[in-house]
Amino acid sequence: MSDGTALAGPDGVPRCPWALSTEDYVSYHDEEWGRPVHGDDALYERLCLEAFQSGLSWITILRRREGFRAAFSGFRIAEVAAFTEADKERLLADSGIIRNRAKIEATVANARVLAEWSPDDLDALIWSHAPDPATRQVPKTLADVPAVTPESTALAKALKKQGIRFVGPTTAYALMQACGLVDDHLETCVARGAPL
């Protein structure tokens, strides 16, 4: 039973406890989660996947990520923005993704909004909400990791104001964690402050 602190995995290396439930999580935790992500298409992908994850376990999305990438043209904003009603019906029949009409509609609608933005605008908007690392306490246990912060609430509001759908404060904070705007690896976790 964990007290919420970093735990030693099979290799003896301490990691955030959530990372130890599957091999997929170990790789994602060690190589991706919390590392800075830049670029409009890359951030659009993370935004979409976090929205699809809403109400589900992240492992469900992680194991279908390649299916999502294939279904949504690699999350290239310009290409998804051009999706038609026929494409949406195709997506609703695609067993490689989560077939949720509202989330599919939001993914396409968000691409259409973002296709009108200038290059790097999405990157700049998201990263403008990154808190100063010096103002954040290093989490010692999972109980120290918030689900929502003032910054994630502000990011969700900023995205909504621009017409981006399906991103509330909790989803925005998950995006911030996944894309390295915050480092929520626990204090004794091997990935804490890992080199990029």
Tell me which residues are annotated as active site.
28, 50, 58
SS3 of residue 119 by DSSP = coil
Per-position b or e across 34-64, b if 16+ CB within 10 A of its CB: beebeebbebbbbbbbbbbbbeeebeebbeb
How many whole angstroms from its chain centre is CA 98?
16
- Among residues 170, 134, 138, 166, which one has the least CA distance to residue 151? 170
- Among residues 152, 149, 83, which one has the least CA distance to residue 111? 83
Residues 81, 93: Cα–Cα separation, whole Å:
19
At 176, list the tokens: 């911030």
